[in-house]
Structure 1
Amino acid sequence: MTSVEVTLKTLLTEVEGAVGTAVVDFTSGMALGTLGGGKNLDLTVAAAGNTDVIRAKTRTMEMLGLKDKIEDVLITLGSQYHLIRPVAGRSGNGLFIYIVIDKGCSNLAMARHHLKRAEEQLEI
């Protein structure tokens, strides 16, 4: 099991093309931790905005009567992939991991694999 800090460092160093990452509480929209980003990527603003994405998808699934869970959400921009993965299990209820990767120098399948592994190992 790994802490938020270790999870963020691992994702930023192991995911090829990683630009920034965060662990977010989607009940409040607040980031529990961020790493990376920069002047063109404010991770605290992104954390709050992506909270709305998770909430909207969850509400939609409820309205449709879908008895399933969100594995991850992919948002594709011109030059970036934004991946959001809810944290499963009791210790992660209400949390998600968010990562932004550079589309030109990354492998989306491997990024999803790393994100899944990070989610499984995260301990809050």
Structure 2
Amino acid sequence: MPEMDVALKDAMQIDGAIGVALVDYTSGMALGIAGGSKDFDLAVAAAGNTDVVRSKLRAMEMLGIREQIEDILITLDNQYHMIRPLKGRSGEGLFLYLALTKTRANLAMARHQLKRIETALDV
């Protein structure tokens, strides 16, 4: 999927990007990965963050919240982890997962750029 490859490459251009994955949260499988390292396995991170998305969707359902998740942010000591579920029929059940180095990232700009990438992505 060239469009997916371009989207992942664009996400890696975000300041502070460590790695990015396009993930199917019904299966936990990463459909595409860019970046990462031997100490940061994006396939494992993608699968683990699937549980985060599922849990949040379940909680929203129990609370009767009918809104869509724009993004989920997890802040660690040295990193930001962003989860952005894709909207629209072609992206249903998928999310972009982006890990950033906290000292190099501009969180507001990263959110803006990830939204732009999502809008351009046609899966």
What TM-score do you get using the length of structure 1 for normalisation? 0.96
Offset from partner CA, 1:46-84 (integer Å, 9 cap, x none): 000000000000000000001101000000000000000
Q: Which runs of 4+ in 1 moved over 6 A?
A: none
Residue 106 of structure 1 and its aligned partner are, at CA, apart by 1.0
Take 1:30 and 1:3, find their aligned partners in 2: how far apart are those partners? 18
5 Å-filtered alignment, 1:24-43, equals 24-43=23-42
- Identity fraction in percent: 59
How far apart, CA to CA, are the structure 2 residues paired with 1:22 and 1:49?
Answer: 12
Q: Which residue of 2 aligns with 1:99?
A: 98
Distance 1:54 1:121 in 2: 22
Residue 66 of structure 2 aligns with an amino acid whose one-letter code is K
Unaligned runs of 5+ in 2: none
1:65-104 to structure 2, matched below 5 A, reads: 65-104=64-103
User: Aligned pair 1:10/2:7, yes or no?
Assistant: no
